[in-house]
């Protein structure tokens, strides 16, 4: 995982996402998911471009089922943008960098 991408887990979700002062983009993914792997370069680019403005993290749905179930993740990749701990935007499936950037810019 890139250095500016957080590993979000069931254990640290409250601290890293729900209590964050900054908006947080969480990529819900799994190792076996081809489209999820295709999203990786985009997520890494966005993490660099928005460093200091939006926290970017990845949550492995296989290892963190509780959080995935809490947010109704039924398909991956799913990207959820949180603002002040609340869901601001949810993108399901492969999303373009343009669409994700638009969502991020909306909450800034």
The residue that leads in pLDDT, 1 or 43, is: 43
| pLDDT classification of 2: cutoffs 50, 70, 90 | confident
Total number of domains constituting the chain: 1
Calpha distance 53→100 (Å, rounded): 14
The residue among 72, 23, 75 whose CA lies nearest residue 46 is 23
Q: From the candidates 4, 10, 33, 92, which is the catalytic residue?
A: 33
Give the pair of three-digit tokens for residue 103: 């969502």
Examine the residue annotation and report whether 36 is marked as an active-site residue of this protein: yes
| pLDDT classification of 62: cutoffs 50, 70, 90 | very high
Identify the CATH number of the domain in which residue 38 sits: 3.40.30.10
pLDDT at 1 over 80: no
Examine the residue annotation and report whether 53 is marked as an active-site residue of this protein: no
Quote the domain boundaries for residue 53: 5-107
Q: From the candidates 5, 17, 24, 36, which is the catalytic residue?
A: 36
């Amino acid at each position: 995982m890139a250095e500016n991408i957080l590993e979000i887990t069931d254990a640290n979700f409250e601290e890293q996402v729900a209590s964050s002062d900054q908006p947080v983009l969480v990529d819900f993914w799994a190792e076996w998911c081809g489209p999820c792997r295709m999203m990786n370069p985009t997520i890494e680019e966005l993490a660099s471009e928005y460093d200091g403005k939006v926290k970017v993290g990845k949550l492995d749905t296989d290892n963190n089922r509780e959080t995935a179930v809490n947010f109704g993740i039924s398909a991956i990749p799913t990207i959820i943008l949180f603002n002040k701990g609340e869901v601001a935007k949810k993108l399901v499936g492969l999303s373009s960098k343009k669409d994700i950037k638009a969502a991020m810019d909306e909450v800034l």
